Amino acid sequence: MVGGFGENGVAKFCFALTLAAALALANAALADTIVFGGAITQSTADGTGPASNNPSLNGILDGDVYTLTLDLTGLIDSAGTYTNFTGATFTDLSSPATETSFGPISLTISADGSYDDFSLLACLSTGSDCFAGNQLTANFQILATDLNNLNAPAQAMALLTPLDLLEDDGVTDIHGTVTSYSYAPANAVPEPSSLPLAGALLFAALAAKRLPGFRRP
């Protein structure tokens, strides 16, 4: 008798724990990502700012290379409007400047002949309001055949700013080009947070196997 369970009861409990852990691992959160980038064409050195909510943006200079990473759940494989994003990260690869304080994100993809047109709005959680100058917008296009490809070329759309990062209620205004695009599907590697669960699964399986009450048919 163990903790009020007979040997057979403990074996069944271990088997149930193993099954529950396996199901949890099978449903571990996996996220597709969209990454696009280019070069900075307007920075705080050009007279906008200085950035106060995120001072690291003051280190950005014209010509710096940047990327924007969008994390999402589910698949984007056609034209439409998507809001299934879990976060976004703006990174200046030439200086230690990042921005991750994004709230609601909306991406609209419109079919345009042989191209797909992208229109992104990512609201910041800082400042007085998203539409009072606290948002990141992006407008660009790629070949429709590259929607789910890696390292695809991207280009601007006429009369639209490719990248515009507004912060501090519009005081900080950073612009950039968009020249590259990648869509990376989720992989099957468990996230670090699921590793303790994997250990519990293995422990339960071994424990159940060693108990005399657990027998294969």
- When pLDDT is cut at 50, 70 and 90, the band that residue 6 belongs to is low
Q: Quote the CA–CA distance of 44 and 174 in Å, as a whole number.
A: 7
The predicted-structure confidence for 176-214, as pLDDT tens digits, reads as follows 999 999 999 987 344 444 445 445 445 444 444 554 544
Query: Is residue 93 very low, low, confident or very high in pLDDT (cuts 50, 70, 90)?
Result: very high
Q: Are 158 and 170 in contact (CB under 8 A)?
A: no
The pLDDT assigned to 37 comes to 98
Q: What is the pLDDT of residues 26-43, one digit of tens each?
A: 444 568 999 999 999 999
Break the chain into its structural domains and give their ranges.
7-28+188-210, 32-184
Q: What is the pTM assigned to this prediction?
A: 0.74
Predicted local confidence at residue 10, as pLDDT: 45
The residue whose two tokens read 């909510």 is 53
